[in-house]
Amino acid sequence: MNESSEEIYNGLLAKIDETVKLIEECRRLPDISGKSKLQRKIEAELKFLKRLTKNRDKLKVEHIRSSNIYHLSAIVRSCIEMQGVIKVLETFSYVIEDEEEETYEVSLTVDIVADYGKTWVKVATRNPFHLYQASVGHGKYGRKSIIEQIEDMIECAEHNHHMFAAPNIVVRLAAGVTKELKELLDELGVQVIGEIVSSDSEENVNVTCNKQHELVDSLENQLTSLENIHLNIDEDSEPCSSDIISSESTEESSFFNLQSIPSDAVLNLDVSTFLAYVSNMTNGHCHAKYKEKLLMDLAEMERAHPVKPVLDQLFQGRKLVCCETAHRDFLEILSTVGGETEKQRASEMLGKVSVVSDNPSPKALALEKTSKIKERSKIVFGTGDSMKAVTVSANLGFLRAAQSQGIKFVAFVHESRALTECKELKNADDN
C-alpha cells in the first residue's frame, strides 16, 4: 500500500526530529579526534532533510530513506557503547603495489578506533541479505562488498600498527547478519557483532530497501554538496617559541595518551623528557620570574598544565630506559645549564633508568635529514623502535617530520620544559 503525501511528510518531520536529537547525542560524546567531523556530517544530513520540506509536492518516501543518517546514527551509538574510543572517521593511508609493480598510496576511513587504539571498527547498517548477496557477487557494479571492504581494512591495519601490532578488526552490523555472511567474515579473522538473521526472515524485510539503496549514491552526493556550501624540541637544550606544544593542540591525538599505553610497556626516554622532569619549573618553581619571554611563556603553560604529574603517572610501574646518546647528551646539557638542585634531581632520576646501547631501527636510519630530523632524534626514536618501546618525548617536530616521510613511531608526547634554575630572577635588581 502506497503511503499518502501526508504520511510521507510526517515521516520526514519525524526523521528531522531524530536527526536533531542525534546531533545532541554527538555533542555529548567525549572530545575524541574526529568528533567535529562526525557532527558536521550529521548537520549536513539535517540541512538536506530540511530542504526536502520546501518541496512537499515532490517529496517521495525514498528521499527520507537515505541510509546515510542510519549509518551516522549507528556510529554515534557505537561510540557510546564501546570502550576506549579515541577516534572516529579517522583516515589512514597505506602503500600498495599493482600488477605492474607500480606503487601508490591508498587512503581508508575507519569508522571508529576503540580500545585506545587496539581495535578498528567497521559499522554497517545495510539490509543483511543485501550485504550477503553483494558479498557473493550479486551486488551493484563498482561498489565494494563488505567482504572487500574488510579485506582492505585488514591490509591497511597491517601498515598502521598500534603498539607494534596490527589493530584488531570488529564489524558491527546494526541491522543484523546472515549466518552465511558471518561465516565469510569469520574466515577473515575479524570479530562480528550483530544479531544472526534467519534466511526465513528475508520475506519480512521492507521491500523498499531496494529502492533505498539504489538512491544512496545520489543522496550522499547531495549531502556532500551541502557540506561544501556551507611544539617542537630541536637538538638544543631549550625550545624555541615554535616548539611549544599548546595544551589545546589536536596534533597530540596522533600519539598515545595515558590510557592507551599498556601497563607493561617499556618507556624509552628522550632528552626532552629528562629536561622536563628535573626542571625547577616543573618542581614547584612555576611562579618564578625570568628575563626571557620564552621561559615566562613556559612557566604560564606549566601553571595551567603541570608536566611532572603526567610523567609520574606514566612512569609508575613501568620500566624506564634510555639509549646511550640520550644519556650522554642530557648529562652534557645538565653540566652546562643545570642548577645544583636540578643536578640532584637528575641523579635520582637516572638511578631509576636503565641505559641501553644505541640501536636505531632501519626505518629510523632511512629518514632523510632535515631541520627537524637530526641524528640524535633518529638514534633515540630508532632505538625505542628496535626495542618495541614507547618513546616519551616533547619532540613533536621530529614525529611530524617523520610522518611526512611516511614513517611513524610509537610515542607519548608531552609539553616541553627547559632547565631554569640558573635563570630564575632572585630579586628586583635582577631585572
More confident residue, 257 or 304: 304
Q: Do 273 and 394 contact (CB within 8 A), yes or no? A: yes
How do residues 201-246 score in pLDDT, each as one tens digit? 554 444 334 444 444 444 444 433 433 433 333 344 444 433 434 3
- Residue 336: inside a domain: yes
Q: Which residues contact 234 (CB under 8 A, 6 or more apart)?
A: 240, 243, 372, 374, 397
- What is the chain's percent helix, strand, coil content, to nearest 5? 50, 15, 35
Is the same domain home to 76 and 89?
Answer: no
Do 408 and 275 lie in one domain? The reply is yes
Domains held by the chain: number: 3
Quote the pLDDT of residue 166. Answer: 95
Q: How far is CA 214 from CA 65, 122, 217, 218, 268, in A?
A: 11, 21, 7, 8, 53
The pLDDT tens digits of the residues spanning 85-112 come to 999 999 998 888 777 778 888 999 999 9
Per-residue pLDDT tens digits for 327-359: 999 999 999 999 999 999 999 999 999 999 999
Same domain, 60 and 184: no
CA distances from 28 to 21, 62, 85, 112 (A): 11, 30, 14, 16
Residue span of the structural domain in which 60 resides: 1-80
Q: Quote the crossing angle between the two packed helices 340-350 and 324-337, to the nearest 10°.
A: 160
pLDDT of residue 247: 35
Is a pLDDT exceeding 80 seen at residue 162? yes
Percentage of residues in the chain having pLDDT higher than 90? 66
270-275 average pLDDT score: 97
pLDDT in tens, 5-19: 888 888 888 889 999
Kind and range of the H or E run holding 322? strand 320-323
pLDDT in tens, 22-76: 999 999 999 999 999 999 999 999 998 888 888 777 777 776 666 588 899 999 9
Cell of 128: 543483511
- Residue 100 has a pLDDT of 72
At 123, which CATH number?
Answer: 3.40.1350
* pLDDT > 60? residue 119: yes
Per-residue model confidence (pLDDT) at position 255: 64
Q: Are residues 32 and 129 in the same domain?
A: no
Which of 151, 171, 198 is the C-terminal boundary of a domain? 198
User: Rounded distance, CA 427 to CA 431, Å?
Assistant: 8
If asked whether residues 192 and 295 sit together in one domain, one would say no
Least confident piece of the model among 230-244, 249-263, 276-290, 299-313: 230-244
- Is 206 a member of any domain? no
Widest CA span in the chain: 91
pTM for the whole structure: 0.75
Please tell me whether residues 161 and 306 are part of one structural domain.
Answer: no
pLDDT digits (tens, 9 = 90+) for 382-411: 999 999 999 999 999 999 999 999 899 999
**Of 102-111, 248-257, 421-430, which gets the smallest average pLDDT?**
248-257
